[in-house]
Amino acid sequence: MPSEQSVDPHFDLTGKVAMVTGGSRGLGYEMVKAFAAHGADCVIASRKLDACEAVAEEVRAMGRRAMAHSVHAGRWPQIDAMIERVYDEFGRVDILVNNAGMGPASPSHDVTESLFDSILNLNFKGPFRLASQIGRRMAADGGGCIINVSSSASLRPMPEVTVYGAAKAAVNAMTRSLAAEYGPAVRVNTLSPGPFLTDIAKAWEPEARETADNAVGRPGNPAEIVSAALFLASPSSSYVTGSLVRVDGGLNLSV
């Protein structure tokens, strides 16, 4: 990560407050580190407080302020309480990354109502609440940006993740609507990752960890999400809103 003196001016986040759900591991963790390295104070939110606090300590060691917060990102009362705590502590949020999510594989005919609700809550209902409540505050405070993390499952036919793909497709539509509703002060974009070697990849077959059905022929390394996230979070993307940015190595979406 760059030192404070070498931060690219195009990606300068000095003085900004960034909140990342699912920020204690995987792609969320990489985004938190990148935001902090480029000047932002960070709120790290996920279910496990100890994991959030460990990342917060890394951010503090970089000379930034940090808050760790345990939250179920699909439950509105917990989301609302987190928002109040963050605004009490920092006074604002400049960058929101809706990254928390899950996509368990199951034959569609075996999906229970409970599992259906859990997937929709975490991947769409919660992100909607967080984006709409913080988006409203951002607009009143003069601006900000929201990055909704989607998935190639929202764009590409994939068996056994029907509910997850549908929830992420709803996130894609939500992005466009919120960009229109809270613009021009608030920019809202979708970041759509493809296969990445995060914790979930440990359950993949060895071949899937080495190759992928995309133009570059491999899964992504988690740090490869950073440049796209920084672009969407920074003033360099001031004319980009309501957009979907794919970071999937050129995945074939027609398969």
Q: Any idea which residues carry the catalytic annotation?
A: 164
CA distance 153 to 170: 12
Q: Residue 179: which of 146, 213, 151 has the closest Cα?
A: 146
For the beta sheet containing 95-98, the strands, ordered from the edge strand earlier in sequence to the opposite edge, are 66-70, 41-46, 17-21, 95-98, 144-149, 186-193, 244-247
E strands of the chain, at which residues? 17-21, 41-46, 66-70, 95-98, 144-149, 186-193, 244-247
Q: What is the DSSP letter of 214?
A: B
SS3 content of the chain, % helix, strand, coil (to 5): 50, 15, 35
DSSP helix/strand/coil, 106: coil
Strand partners, 194: none
Residues 6+ apart with CB under 8 A from 36: 42, 58, 59, 62, 64, 66
Q: Which ranges of 145-193 does DSSP label H, i.e. alpha helix?
A: 162-182
